[in-house]
Amino acid sequence: MRGARASGDDERVKAALYIERASASTVTRLSGYYRILGEFEAENLETIASERLAERAGVSSAQVRKDLSRFGNFGRRGLGYNVAQLRQRIAGILGLTQHWNVALIGAGNLGHALFSYKEFPKQGFHIEHVLDADPAKIGTAWNGVTIVHVGELPRLARDGKVDIVIVAVPVHSAQTVVDLAVSSGIRAILNFAPGKLATPDGVTIRHVDLSIAMESLSYALVK
């Protein structure tokens, strides 16, 4: 616990100390603020109060202020937050100022939809590799990207060409693919196969489970 002086310099203390990882819900809200700030920027707003940001995001203004103050003192009392500046700060926090190399595994319908998803490149996520196990697909290309065998993943990862892997394969091969990604040194995975998949510590996996989403709707409908 060394290094933290008793002085009131919170900014310095915050920068010097290890900041605990934000919770998943904080990060989710941050993503929301980021997008909304883009809208405000397009509307040529210079500054914005937490109240207005909160309104659009569908949360309380205290929540907005707490979320932001976790990462620094971005606002100015009496004024609010500078729209462009805050957006840039959040981009930095979320890692959206970088170029991320993404490998998509699974060249089926879902894979194709993800490959064509326009928002990804806008946020710095570039699907530069498409992999599959089906010999019929290997060698064909999507918009200039040639589909290669999933066995190539370790090589691509070793050459530093993959930051994030998207798993869009059928459920029965999902765990195998995830294991391959992990053993290749990948540390971030977006999984579309239903069910929890085992990953060691240090590997972040996010699940997009369409069945669960639908089930929560049917739960809402069934009286």
Contact residues toward its own copies (CB under 8 A) are 21-22, 24, 27-28, 30-32, 34-36, 56-58, 93-96, 98, 100, 108-110, 112-114, 116-117, 119-120, 123-125, 163-164, 187-190, 194-196, 204, 206, 208-222
Closest CB to DNA among 45 and 133? 45
Count of residues touching DNA (by CB under 7 A): 26
76 binds DNA (CB under 7 A): yes
66 binds DNA (CB under 7 A): yes
- Are 163 and 100 in contact, with CB atoms under 8 Å apart? yes
d(CA 121, CA 125): 5
12 binds DNA (CB under 7 A): no
Give the shortest CB-1-to-its own copies separation in angstroms: 22
Give the shortest CB-206-to-its own copies separation in angstroms: 5
Start-to-end Cα distance in the chain:
54
Closest CB to DNA among 65 and 129? 65
Can you list the alpha helix ranges (DSSP code H) found in the chain? Answer: 10-16, 24-42, 50-57, 61-69, 83-94, 109-115, 119-122, 153-158, 171-183, 210-221
Q: Residue 200: which residues within 8 A CB-CB, separation 6 or more? A: 182
Q: Contact with DNA (CB under 7 A): which of 81, 115, 125, 192?
A: 81
What order do you get walking across the sheet with 75-76 strand by strand? 47-48, 80-82, 75-76
Can you list the alpha helix ranges (DSSP code H) found in 96-209? Answer: 109-115, 119-122, 153-158, 171-183
Per CB under 7 A, the segment of 53-61, 141-149, 192-200, 209-217 that binds DNA is 53-61
Per CB under 7 A, the segment of 56-64, 97-105, 147-155, 174-182 that binds DNA is 56-64
Q: Contact with DNA (CB under 7 A): which of 46, 60, 121, 198?
A: 60
46 binds DNA (CB under 7 A): no
Give the shortest CB-158-to-its own copies separation in angstroms: 17
Q: Contact with DNA (CB under 7 A): which of 31, 69, 123, 184?
A: 69
The first and second tokens of residue 3, run together, are 């290094």
d(CA 174, CA 180): 10
d(CA 197, CA 209): 12
- Interface residues with DNA (CB under 7 A) are 10, 23, 25-26, 48-51, 59-63, 65-66, 68-69, 73-81
